[in-house]
Amino acid sequence: MFKKIFIPILTLSLCLLLLNFWTLGFSSFTVFSYTLKKAGVIPRPFPPIQLIDQDSNIFQIKDKKKYKLVNFVYLNCPFVCHKVNNQLEQIYHKLDNETVPSRLEFITVSFDQENDDLQRIIRYRKYFGDNISGWSFALPYHYDQKSFDAFLSKLGIWKYKIPSTGLINHSIYIFLIDTDNNIIKVFDPARDTNETIISEIKACIKV
């Protein structure tokens, strides 16, 4: 009798244990959420990276002593990246002049090193208007694909290029980084509304 009950319960428990391990405690079912969670709990330091912006300024995220809102895109993206940037554009215009650019800076980084160059990001930035000071569009500076991919996984961004189509499926998280270079919030533009993101940014900056 004991054996009859014990063995199925043991089997079920082992299955649940494996599922729990596989999904990091039943919380990460996709590669996107898994990579983010695996990168560590927030607050955590933003990994070092050297970037070059539309004005050819070379900089590190940690060198900017203000709050930063960082997202990753690629310009050949058919839909999602532009949707996220449109959302960021709305957030940018809803924030007052005292916040952007003096206390907060927007940084959009392209991770398609094969196709995106400075000329392309300059052209792309112009779609958002001429007066967007405090919103930089940047590229990784002197990084080979392997080390840049390592940076992305350290940060918690999943990226996968579909061989048949060349499309890059990737995480669309937006990172809020404080003045000490710590990631303090991660927004998911697919779930978080503009109002939520704005109120969270304001709450963090005021503190």
Partner 1 sequence: MHKSLKNIINIISILIGIWFISFNFNEWLCLTMQRHQLIQLPAMLLIGFMTGYTYRKNIKPDQTITICILILTIFSIIFWMIPRSIDLAVINEKFNRIMHFNMLIAGFFLYPVLSKTVPEIKIVFLGMMASMLMAGGITLKTYNLLLCSSFTIEQQKQTGLILILVGITLYFFTIFIFLRGLKPEELKEKVNLNDSIHTQ
Closest-CA residue to 106 (of 80, 75, 128):
128
Residue 112 binds partner 1, judged by CB under 8 A: no
Closest-CA residue to 135 (of 192, 55, 78):
55
Identify the residue among 42, 122, 132, 167 touching partner 1 (CB under 8 A): 167
Residue 22 binds partner 1, judged by CB under 8 A: yes
Residue 146 binds partner 1, judged by CB under 8 A: no
Q: 13 vs 147, which CB is nearer to partner 1? A: 13
SS3 71: strand
DSSP 90-156: HHHHHS-TTTTTTTEEEEEEE--TTT--HHHHHHHHHTT-S--TTEEEEEESS--HHHHHHHHHHHT
Identify the residue among 20, 27, 30, 102 touching partner 1 (CB under 8 A): 30
Residue 59 binds partner 1, judged by CB under 8 A: no
Interface with partner 1 by CB under 8 A: which residues? 3-4, 7-8, 11-12, 15, 18-19, 22-23, 28-32, 34, 80, 158, 160, 162, 164, 167, 169-170, 190-191
